[in-house]
A and B are shown apart, each in its own frame.
Chain A
Amino acid sequence: MVLVLALGDLHVPHRAADLPAKFKSMLVPGKIQHIICTGNLCIKEVHDYLKSLCPDLHITRGEYDEDARYPETKTLTIGLFKLGLCHGHQVVPWGDLDSLAMLQRQLDVDILVTGHTHQFKAYKHEGGVVINPGSATGAYSSITYDVNPSFVLMDIDGLRVVVYVYELIDGEVKVDKIDFKKTATMHA
């Protein structure tokens, strides 16, 4: 029963001032065990805020991040799942599933979390799951202005991961739920 928060592309303070209030009210410390952040925070204050939510924080470098020490990619194991993290601007074409699958195979992970497109996506394909948590602040992207703030909460429980998607649509938080089960043959 591990709760993992996945978010990214906040672009604070350049493109957005802060997380939406409704999101902030939901994110209370103590409930979440891990936070994985795709990148583009961009400043240290956001880093500290996320750290306050949960001490176990993993970040990869986005192109606008002011801290140059974040890695390009990261992998971690939570429960029985292997997670991979990358910002996504390195994978061209941006947001292309096959390219991302290539990255996933490269990193050898079950769940790949990337961002950069500021659009929520969740794919399940051949061996794994690719999740794009979108932009938590709703900051505009190079591709589009029409961005809904969104983030993802994964509940990893044994061989099953439940993905809750939180989107702020028209000022209301909408939650959706996706189930993924890891099969034994996912990765030999």
Chain B
Amino acid sequence: MAEEERRRRFSNLRSVRWRVDLGILPAPPEASVEEHRRAAADSRRRYVSLKRRLLVDPHVPKEEGRSSNFVVDNPLSQNPDSSWGRFFRGAELEKNVDQDLSRLYPEDGSYFQTPACQAMLRRILLMWCLQHPEYGYRQGMHELLAPLVYVLQVDIDKLSQVRKLHEDCFNDDFDGVPFPDTDMVFSYKPRKEPNWNLGDDNENNSERSSKTNTLDELDSDTKEIILLSDAYGAEGELGIVLSERFMEHDAYSMFDGLMDGGSGVVRMAEFFSPSSVGSSSNLPPVIEASSALYHLLSIVEPTLHNHFIELKVEPQWFALRWLRVLFGREFCLNDLLVIWDKVFACSNNMLLSSDEEYNFRILCSARGAFIAAMAVSMLLHIRSSLLATEIDASCLQKLLNFPTNIDVQKLIEKANALQSIAIDVNTSSSSFLLKRDSCEYDRVHSNHATSTPPRTPLHPVSESYWEEKWRDVHKDGTTPKESEKGNSFSKQLKKSLTQRLGLSRTESDPSPLKVLSVKNNARNSVRRCLLNTLSDDLGRSNEVAGKIQQDEFPIVSVHREPPMSSAEPSKSKAVGENVTVSPLCVAKLNPLKNSVVEPAHENATQRTKCIAEACSSGENSPVFYAASSGNEPENAQDIDSESSSVTSNSCAGDPVIDGILKDDSSDSNDDSKTIQDSEAASSDTSPDQDGIAERAVVSNERKPFISKLQWLLKLGRPSVEGNMEKSSGETSDDKQGVDTSCSSLSDGNSNNSRGTVKMASGDKKVMGTLKNLGQNMLENIQVIESAFQQDRGQPGPVENFSNNILGGKGQITAMAALTELRKISNLLSEM
């Protein structure tokens, strides 16, 4: 509440408010005008003494006798203490500063380009850099300083307006009491007659002077302005809070407050330093802050986060500019002022006690958390266009050219919401997460251009939830549905999955990184085997169900081909990007097994998401995951990716999916038998999920499900050979299998909705997750649409079938598929 009062107090005067926020003027709302004036005066005195000390002119002869040692004090002296040495260092700094100043806001009405303003900015920056030699001058500091000067100037303009309006209140009478007219001289003393005003003002003069004769008649804001600028108040002229004469001093104090953080957590200066002093991990603070951003994003919006990781977009590529200049380059000046209002309004005090562990230093204060939240909300704002990008360059381009016609208030509201999440995230993770993250960040730091992206944090909630679910599922044992199945394949699948799940339970704790890494290679082979056996099994059954989405998948898969074939084999990111289009990409990704694709886990996440969205069937997806996740460990480097992908998959909200995934990730046995068992298990779990609801439907679905598997594995097999082209050829050939899988998918959709009935009865969490699922689907739909929009502009050569991305028919069917997806999402949201 105190803050609200403060806001109300100086709501018109940004510079005063910011000075209060930055710690220069007294913070407590009941601080009187005198206290403000005194604080202002003090800060100005500090600046002047600093100036005298630092800005040295070697020509000025020292008064204390000219016995100065010329050996030291000559221009060529190498001695760093010599005044000439300091002079040359200052000259060097000045050159750097000038380079930046000449490019400062050239478009904004050139207030900043006037020589007076430039000189002032130069001096302030020089002073600060001389005072803080460990940072030196870095590009961007001038952009932090410019808005501070601007608000000071605005307030001074406001003051002069008030002055014009309320002339009489700015009287020069010494005690506010006019001297008695005993002396002829005094009687003629002008009482600020505005006769010299512009002619058109004259007729208003009489009105004005009658209106505002006393200070008390004015509204409190104006009154405050006047009191703050009274030349005879506390500290006299030095204490005038809004003073043009001391604009430089005030700007310096504000800049210093911002950079030093006022003994708070967020010190902007740290963002400019390349050393890792002042960060919790051994990374430069700005890198760490960028990672904090990604961390928050991964919790709030895993899709986008995974997309970034897939495209290998490192956070600091764009976050560096955002953080260092506090979004100064992303918004126009007026919007920026609004944002900075909010940023400064948040307190910068450390929220955690000294012995609490935290993940990111930037998130330890409300202000830092708001900055991170603001960045994430900006990312979310351009989310759909980002998800539609295929390569890191285009993604980065979109990030660095933030759209200008945005509603800043909306962004700020969103950031407010995210701020509390950010603060919680900082401390919520257990120690393993901290360790893990720091390991990852070290790796990020060392392998700059490549591989390991920041890991998605685990949802601690999900793990226990899935374990619960697994227990539930297997508590039911063999349901009567199983007898109906009569399909050994599904039985086998279930068995193997059970075993896997059992294994996964031991492995579900992500802390044993080493264990995971050991299992990595084992997993590869396991998955390959799994795929093989699955394909064998699927080959047995050939179902042809509906033809609903028949065309969608070939089109979609085809659609993906050009990007895939054009990119390197390792650019599964292209696939990953379109992954939301169809679960086909899951199988598509299988080909990339042998390629060292490090975002594979992200693909898996995407895949799981898309699968969850498209088919949203508990039973179908497990098999998909079993097949697809086999590809994840291709990137043997990604130890954590597996578990993270597993758990992040769980966020999609499908119990069995996650179970299966964990199952896979922890699997270390290549057992065709187990594979078969898992297959059986998965197919069995599907009936369990359907359960009580509709048995008949399930049996129907099982068939297409199996055919889907078959199709998947057929695609998977060529991938095992590592030949993408072949697999794409197979894809087109396997359209038949695709049809079946499509139909099965559609069936799976309805199945899932029924399955959700059972789930809902069980656990409330499922509902929530399903709702999220539906929402994800909607969002993915949007992405699809945008992707299609994009690709419409990219006509590929129609040399082979695979390049025929979006024939007219394809578009129609794609849109049909999208409507289907919408229906699904509606269903889910109903649940």
Interface residues of A (CB under 8 A from B): 1, 3, 25-28, 31, 153, 155, 157, 160, 162, 164, 166, 173-177
Which residues of B have CB within 8 Å of A173?
Answer: 71
CB pair B76–A31 under 8 Å, yes or no, is yes
Which residues of A have CB within 8 Å of B53?
Answer: none
Which residues of A have CB within 8 Å of B75?
Answer: 3, 31, 153, 155, 164
CB pair B88–A26 under 8 Å, yes or no, is no
Residue from B71, B76, B78 whose CB has the most chain A CB atoms within 10 Å: B76
Which residues of A have CB within 8 Å of B488?
Answer: none
Which residues of B have CB within 8 Å of A1?
Answer: 59
Please tell me which one of the listed residues A31, A176, A177 contacts residue B88 in the complex, with CB atoms under 8 A apart: A31
CB pair B70–A153 under 8 Å, yes or no, is no
CB pair B76–A153 under 8 Å, yes or no, is yes
Residue in chain B with minimal CB distance to A160: B59
Known: A26-B76, A176-B70. 12 other contacts (CB 8 A): A3-B75, A26-B78, A28-B76, A153-B74, A153-B76, A157-B59, A160-B59, A162-B59, A164-B70, A164-B74, A164-B75, A174-B71
CB pair B88–A175 under 8 Å, yes or no, is no
B77 within 8 A of A: yes
CB distance from A67 to the nearest CB of B (A): 27
Q: Interface size on B (CB < 8 Å)? A: 9
CB pair B74–A166 under 8 Å, yes or no, is yes
Residue from A27, A173, A175 whose CB has the most chain B CB atoms within 10 Å: A175
Q: Which of B67-88 contact A (CB under 8 A)?
A: 70-71, 74-78, 88
CB distance from A38 to the nearest CB of B (A): 19
Which residues of B have CB within 8 Å of A157?
Answer: 59
Residue in chain A with minimal CB distance to B76: A26
Which residues of B have CB within 8 Å of A164?
Answer: 70, 74-76
16 inter-chain pairs at a CB distance below 8 angstroms, sorted by A residue, are A1-B59, A3-B75, A26-B77, A26-B78, A27-B76, A31-B76, A31-B88, A153-B74, A155-B75, A157-B59, A162-B59, A164-B76, A166-B76, A174-B71, A175-B74, A176-B70
Q: Given the complex of chains A and B, what is the CA–CA distance between A173 and B74 in angstroms?
A: 11
Q: Given the complex of chains A and B, what is the CA–CA distance between A157 and B75 in angstroms?
A: 13
CB distance from B520 to the nearest CB of A (A): 56
Q: Given the complex of chains A and B, what is the CA–CA distance between A174 and B72 in angstroms?
A: 10
Which residues of B have CB within 8 Å of A25?
Answer: 78
Which residues of A have CB within 8 Å of B71?
Answer: 173-175
Q: Which of B763-786 contact A (CB under 8 A)?
A: none
CB pair A175–B70 under 8 Å, yes or no, is yes
Q: Given the complex of chains A and B, what is the CA–CA distance between A58 and B298 in angstroms?
A: 66
Q: Given the complex of chains A and B, what is the CA–CA distance between A164 and B74 in angstroms?
A: 7
Q: Given the complex of chains A and B, what is the CA–CA distance between A171 and B502 in angstroms?
A: 85
Q: Which of B81-97 contact A (CB under 8 A)?
A: 88
Going nearest first, the 8 A-B pairs with the smallest beta carbon separation are A175-B70, A26-B76, A175-B74, A175-B71, A164-B74, A177-B70, A3-B75, A157-B59
CB pair B59–A177 under 8 Å, yes or no, is no
Q: Given the complex of chains A and B, what is the CA–CA distance between A107 and B578 in angstroms?
A: 82
Q: Given the complex of chains A and B, what is the CA–CA distance between A31 and B71 in angstroms?
A: 17
Which residues of A have CB within 8 Å of B76?
Answer: 26-28, 31, 153, 164, 166
CB distance from B177 to the nearest CB of A (A): 52
Q: Which of B31-65 contact A (CB under 8 A)?
A: 59
CB distance from A5 to the nearest CB of B (A): 9
Which residues of B have CB within 8 Å of A153?
Answer: 74-76
Q: Given the complex of chains A and B, what is the CA–CA distance between A177 and B74 in angstroms?
A: 9
Which residues of A have CB within 8 Å of B88?
Answer: 31
Residue in chain B with minimal CB distance to A5: B76
Residue in chain A with minimal CB distance to B91: A1
Which residues of B have CB within 8 Å of A174?
Answer: 71
Q: Given the complex of chains A and B, what is the CA–CA distance between A111 and B529 in angstroms?
A: 93
Q: Given the complex of chains A and B, what is the CA–CA distance between A26 and B70 in angstroms?
A: 14
Q: Given the complex of chains A and B, what is the CA–CA distance between A175 and B72 in angstroms?
A: 9
CB distance from A105 to the nearest CB of B (A): 30
Q: Given the complex of chains A and B, what is the CA–CA distance between A12 and B104 in angstroms?
A: 51
CB distance from A167 to the nearest CB of B (A): 11
Which residues of A have CB within 8 Å of B59?
Answer: 1, 155, 157, 160, 162
Which residues of B have CB within 8 Å of A162?
Answer: 59
Residue in chain B with minimal CB distance to A162: B59
Which residues of A have CB within 8 Å of B74?
Answer: 153, 164, 166, 175, 177
Q: Given the complex of chains A and B, what is the CA–CA distance between A177 and B68 in angstroms?
A: 11
Residue in chain A with minimal CB distance to B68: A177
